[in-house]
Structure 1
Amino acid sequence: MSVTTDLSIPSEEFLLGTALLTDTDVYVELERVVPASRQVLPFFWAIGTEFEAFERDVQSNPNVKNLVSLDRVKNRVLYRVEWSKAVESLIYGIAEVGATILEAQGNDQWRFRLRFNDHSALSEFQEYCIEHDIDFHLDRVTTETDTVRNDFGLTAEQRETLVLAVEQGYFDVPRGVTLGELADEIGVTQQSVSERVRRGAGSVLESVLLEASTREERSG
């Protein structure tokens, strides 16, 4: 049975985090991906406003050979990066055990959501991190069955944001609170709140509707 984990890790613990760590308001987000080799992931989204300073800081890092802006949508920029080093211990460890990066974002502190094929693969990953002195904190471990039954696959941040949004009337008509007001209360960017609400609501709807559809098919 597949296992989903939430873990947090300081940026200095892995190459990608170190290279993308800046003093700007920009934080980095990775899309769902299955790492396939030792190479560091070449694409990432940056969210914020201080992109010129962010680019200067990243390009000055000795681990970065080149940084190219590919697309820009409001306060999000898609970058392609060419790395000076070929090996990234953390990402290689994820690739070694065949895990999938479901979500990853951060600046000085990163949060990863990983899916492993089974508990054995998770144990292999933990052993790999110990052998390579990669220090991380395992925040949560769930199986797919637990995910559907207990929290619809929500991360802790998504659950917190959705609960607050419901309590304060974000889904009411008219709305009782804006995304900006939710962001101020939680202490994150409006973009981050928007993504938590969108992805969290999508996870809940997918779990509820698909489960209901499955029950109908079985009863039919």
Structure 2
Amino acid sequence: MAVIVELSIKPDDFDLGRVTAVTDDMHIELERVVPTGGDVMPFFWAKGSNFESFERAVRENRIVEELQAVARVGDRVLYHVYWGDTVSSLTTILTESEATILEAHGNSPWVFRLRFNDHAGLTEFHNLSNEEGIDFHVERIYTLTEEETGVYTFDITPQQQEALVAAVSGGYFEVPRRTTLKGVAEELGISPQAASERIRRGADTVLRKVLLSRSASDLD
């Protein structure tokens, strides 16, 4: 099943991020198109004010052969960048892991929303990124089904989800706590021991999905 991953990457870890990180007042967004050539990131939008200075700085970068302004809409300009001898392997990693870029924007950090054909593709992306020293932070992982329904189950049971929702909304995890385990149990109509088991097991599953999912070992 296809998997969608939202993650953040530092601009220094890939070519487009490095090239466009020349000013703090310019926001970059990848154009969501499927290129017909081999380039993965040939088009991007820039939003800001001083485009002349931005264009000059980007064109001076040694890995940029050419930069063309394609269109301007309000305070946004669409650019086409022609790459020379690039040094980042992120585009290669995306290609080899068969990832589709659904959305990407930056500058510091950059946030990517990627779709992989299956968990194996996500694992391949993780392993190749580690080999190349590309660090990323996973924000969220979910399936296409979860995206369509808007429900993220993380493979927990309905009883565990109910207990976690009651605990979070009641302030059980806050410091200081606004409710006790007994209070959560009473709200659910179950014993404190049953509430504790559901909360701990549900929390363990969710945290493993979120915190340990870079290797995708918990997605199988």
TM category, shorter: 0.5 to 0.7
Report if aligned partners of 1:90, 1:129 keep a CA contact under 8 Å in 2: yes
Report if aligned partners of 1:72, 1:78 keep a CA contact under 8 Å in 2: yes
Mean CA deviation greater in 85-94 or 43-52: 85-94
User: Are the structure 2 counterparts of residues 120 and 33 from structure 1 closer, same or farther at C-alpha, using a change threshold of 3 Å?
Assistant: farther
Match of 1:168 in 2: none
1:81 aligns with 2:112: no
Q: Give deviations 1:137-177, integer Å, cap 9, x for gaps.
A: 1111001122223359xxxxxxxxxxxxxxxxxxxxxxxxx
User: Are the structure 2 counterparts of residues 131 and 15 from structure 1 closer, same or farther at C-alpha, using a change threshold of 3 Å?
Assistant: same
Match of 2:126 in 1: 126
**Structure with the greater alpha carbon radius of gyration:** 2
Report if aligned partners of 2:28, 2:107 keep a CA contact under 8 Å in 1: yes
**TM-superposed deviation, 1:125:** 0.6
For residues 60-99 of structure 1, what are the structure 2 equivalents within 5 Å? 60-86=60-86, 88-99=88-99
Match of 1:3 in 2: 3
**TM-superposed deviation, 1:39:** 3.7
Q: What amino acid is the match of 2:140?
A: R
**TM-superposed deviation, 1:69:** 0.8
**TM-superposed deviation, 1:31:** 2.6
Match of 1:58 in 2: 58
Q: What amino acid is the match of 2:89?
A: S
**TM-superposed deviation, 1:108:** 2.6
**Cα RMSD (Å) of the superposition?**
2.1
SS across alignment from 1:94 = helix
Report if aligned partners of 1:63, 1:83 keep a CA contact under 8 Å in 2: yes
User: Are the structure 2 counterparts of residues 112 and 7 from structure 1 closer, same or farther at C-alpha, using a change threshold of 3 Å?
Assistant: same
Match of 2:15 in 1: 15
Specify every segment of 5 or more residues in structure 1 that has no aligned partner in the other structure, as ranges: 153-220
Report if aligned partners of 2:35, 2:42 keep a CA contact under 8 Å in 1: no
**TM-superposed deviation, 1:32:** 2.6
Distance 1:113 1:27 in 2: 17
Q: What amino acid is the match of 1:79?
A: Y
Distance 1:89 1:38 in 2: 14
Name the % identity: 47
Q: Give deviations 1:109-140, integer Å, cap 9, x for gaps.
A: 10000000111110011011011111111111
Specify every segment of 5 or more residues in structure 2 that has no aligned partner in the other structure, as ranges: 153-220
Q: What amino acid is the match of 1:52?
A: E
Distance 2:127 2:54 in 1: 34
Distance 2:3 2:93 in 1: 16
SS across alignment from 1:18 = helix
Distance 1:10 1:86 in 2: 17
Match of 1:100 in 2: 100
User: Are the structure 2 counterparts of residues 107 and 53 from structure 1 closer, same or farther at C-alpha, using a change threshold of 3 Å?
Assistant: same
